[in-house]
Amino acid sequence: MIAITHWDIDGIACLSILYKKFGDKFKVYFSSPRLINNTLIKVIENNDKEEELYITDIATNQEAIYLSSYFRKVYWIDHHEKNFNELTSRVHVYIKNYKSAARVLSEYLNVEFKYLDIVDDIDSGEIKNDIERDFVDYVVSIRYFYPKSYDLYFISIAKNLLNKDIKEIIDHDIIKRFRKELNEIYRNLDKNITVIDKKYKIYIIKLDKNIPSNYILEYIKEKIRDNPDFVITLYEKSKRGEIRTLNNKEVDEIAKLFNGSGHKYAAGFAFNNEREVYEKILNNI
């Protein structure tokens, strides 16, 4: 058996549920909607086609459906919008519009998981307490400071979630380091913001640091005290973008311009250059 899951808290929770159901003697890969095709190619190159494959908390796409069909049986469990037209006989897709993929997987496998409510809060951007905030910052800080070995940390977290309290798992020292770094990013953020105010009010933010866009949303709400229709974060190094909304506008219209995918109110995409992004938005929105 092989598992591919997202590299956020929802994806880690999915892995924990898989461990609870099947034990921990299977290969694990972390990926994202933008990189799933490349990840599948890597998995195909390094594994036997008779394996069963679970893909969790990653949006579907047609090419990925075809690629995953290399394996004997594929279970694709998710909560993002469907993004394919054709399935093969080897691929079973189970998508529900739940707040987290972990809740979908828990239902699908009939496995109880005590942290589903916390994962729902976090993945839907509805953080309710300090524990949830600390858990988010902890997981993000691991990817930020250990980009080449974060997978080992995430596997450990997934296993520990089965028998430990979240408070016991969190390392507050690394959180302090990350929050200090985050404050430095915030200090320079204003000069990297472009505002487009036509049919919709759109913020476009350029970042040279790899922090999730929810931190940008918080900055806009709490520091700038604005409520734009859309917030588009452009990550200059990885050439990827994330689209969010601060007033329940559906992001589909923008996501489709860049062949992006994701949730109703959150999506991601890849881009070649920043000028292309600005031009498409100005000419089409």
**DSSP characters over 165-232:** -HHHH--HHHHHHHHHHHHHHHHTTGGGEEEEESSSEEEEEEESS---HHHHHHHIIIII----SEEE
221/263 same-domain check: yes
Residue 26 lies in a domain: yes
8/133 same-domain check: yes
From residue 142, give the alpha-carbon distance in Å to each of 8, 97, 162, 217, 264.
Answer: 10, 28, 20, 21, 28
66/13 same-domain check: yes
87/134 same-domain check: yes
Q: Domain holding 134: CATH number?
A: 3.40.50
Q: Distance between CA 123 and CA 6 in Å, rounded?
A: 12
**Tokens in use for 142?**
């691991």
204/166 same-domain check: no
Domain that holds residue 271: 188-284
52/158 same-domain check: yes
What pLDDT sits at residue 273?
83
- Give the count of domains, the chain: 2
142/192 same-domain check: no
What pLDDT sits at residue 181?
94
Point out the domain boundary residue: 128, 148, 174: 174
Q: What is the distance between the terminal CA atoms of the chain, rounded to a whole angstrom?
A: 45
Q: Domain holding 204: CATH number?
A: 3.10.310.30
Residue 183 lies in a domain: no
C-beta separation of 127 from 133 below 8 A:
yes
Residue 78 lies in a domain: yes
What type of residue sits at position 173?
A: D
Q: 3-state DSSP call for residue 71?
A: coil
139/200 same-domain check: no
What pLDDT sits at residue 88?
95
40/62 same-domain check: yes
Q: Taking the model in full, what pTM does it have?
A: 0.89
Residue 48 lies in a domain: yes
What pLDDT sits at residue 11?
98
Residue 162 lies in a domain: yes
Tens digit of pLDDT at every position of the chain (285 positions): 999 999 999 999 999 999 999 999 999 999 998 899 999 999 999 999 999 999 999 999 999 999 999 999 999 999 988 889 999 999 999 999 999 999 999 999 999 999 999 999 999 889 999 999 999 999 999 999 999 999 999 999 999 999 999 999 999 999 999 999 999 999 888 888 999 888 889 999 999 888 888 899 989 988 888 889 999 999 988 888 999 888 888 887 788 888 887 777 788 888 888 888 888 888 877
C-beta separation of 261 from 33 below 8 A:
yes
What pLDDT sits at residue 277?
86
117/203 same-domain check: no
93/140 same-domain check: yes
